[in-house]
Amino acid sequence: MMNKQKGVAWLLWLFYFAMMCLVVLGTETVVYKTLSFLHNQNQNDTTKVYKNDNSDNSSVSFHPTSTKEIVSPKNILTKNTTNDNIQNTLDPVNIQKTIKTPVPLVVPQSEVLVTKTDILSGSEIIFYTNLEREKKGLSTLKQQNLLTQAATAKLNHMFTKEYFAHDAPSGESVAYWVDNAGYNYLIVGENLAMGFFQDSKDMVTAWMNSPGHRANILKKEYIDIGVAVKQGKFKGNMVWMGVQIFATSMNECLEVDSTLKQKMDTYIILLDETKKTLEEIEPVLSAEQPITPEESKKYFNLIEQYNELATTYNKLATELKSMVSDYNSQIKNFNACIFDKQGED
């Protein structure tokens, strides 16, 4: 009888043990883990665990294994990557195109009146002009077709309208002729000469003996030149008239990438929109205290959404910082080039 009772007790113990195992195996463990910000890798992630059996009436309890305050984007980004700092971008220098026009040079008739019409030429005048520059250790000027067109148009206009001045009676200046020829200048200068000259060298020598014209010929910032010269009737007299146009093109200075500025503006808008969404989520995360599995799922989905947005925000801000740096570098180089090419007055 005793052995039979021990056997029954043993069977009951095994049955109880088996039931306990079924209870334990009938539960599952779900772990939710927040996504951490890219710039806060030193902080611990928040991990929360709850157990949920399959019965609808079961109670649920949360056991945070660690805690971490949700970090807002403004605490993640460095000062230079915030969209507020976009106001620190530089602006291109306010370009004021300069024009040098000394008083037109008139050379009176000499004892020997030269009547030949082929003794002066534009190419020879450029040659002797560059010779004077070489004497001073300056770079030679390049003949530029657009400037030659502008000089020729100005020369013909003066003969036709019978005026000898940098500005026509109708208002056209050297800038008009250069612009009309399609040359985008940064600085431009004009030398005019009229009278009686033995040859091309004689005309250049006359300019060199005049301080204002000499300054144009020897201005180190000039790169291009165009010349027109011819003999014609001016107010009843046969005279030679010459036009020299010196210039430096805007193309000598690498322009700032306008598409980069447009891209930066787009990034600023995206950052503002993302930041606004993050700020809307933050109080919800701070106020909610999940109790049920359904609430917890909603809560952690919201955390995931927040952290994904924060990651996007940080990425946009980092890329914007790089663009601002590139843009400012281009502005600095452009401004420095403008000042260098314009030179001193």
| 8 Å CB contact between 343 and 221 | yes
Q: Retrieve residue 83's tokens.
A: 């969209």
Q: Report the DSSP beta bridge partners of residue 183.
A: none
Tokens 């770079």 sit on residue: 139
pLDDT digits (tens, 9 = 90+) for 191-219: 999 998 989 999 999 999 999 999 999 99
Comparing 19-33, 115-129, 174-188, 294-308, the range with the smallest average pLDDT is 19-33
| pLDDT more than 90, % of the chain | 46
Measure Cα distances from 223 to 93, 101, 143, 182 in Å.
21, 17, 9, 16
pLDDT in tens, 119-151: 899 999 999 999 999 999 999 999 999 999 999
pLDDT > 60? residue 59 = no
Structure tokens at 248: 């430096």
The continuous run of DSSP H or E covering 241 comes out as: strand 237-249
Is the pLDDT confidence value at 269 over 90? yes
- Residue 258: the pLDDT is 86
Alpha-carbon distance of 123 to 133, in angstroms, equals: 15
Nearest-angstrom CA–CA distance, 53 and 165 = 100
d(CA 122, CA 79): 60
Higher-pLDDT residue of 107 and 5 is 107
For residue 196, the 8-state DSSP code is: -
> Is residue 276 pLDDT above 90, yes or no?
yes
Nearest C-alpha neighbor of 48 from the set 288, 283, 281: 288
**Phi, psi (degrees; rounded to nearest 5) at 239:** -135, 160
Per the model's pLDDT, the better-predicted residue between 83 and 277 turns out to be: 277
Q: Which helix (H) or strand (E) holds 24?
A: helix 2-25
Structure tokens at 157: 């206009």
Q: Is the pLDDT of residue 61 over 50?
A: no
pLDDT in tens, 240-251: 999 999 999 999
Q: Which residue has the higher pLDDT, 255 or 50?
A: 255
Q: What is the DSSP letter of 188?
A: E
Q: Which pairing describes strands 63-64 and 47-52: parallel, antiparallel, or unpaired?
A: antiparallel
Give the rounded distance of the alpha carbon of 52 from its chain centre. Answer: 57
Question: How large a percentage of the chain has pLDDT more than 70?
Answer: 65
**Is residue 255's pLDDT more than 80?**
yes
H or E segment to which residue 8 belongs: helix 2-25
Average pLDDT over residues 5-23: 48
* Count of Cβ atoms closer than 10 Å to residue 163 Cβ: 15
Give the CA angle between residues 17, 23, 24 to the nearest 5°.
90
Check pLDDT > 70 for residue 67. no
Angle at 320 between CA 72 and CA 325, to 5 degrees: 125
Residue 285: predicted pLDDT: 82
* The model's pTM: 0.62
What single-letter DSSP state applies at residue 82?
S
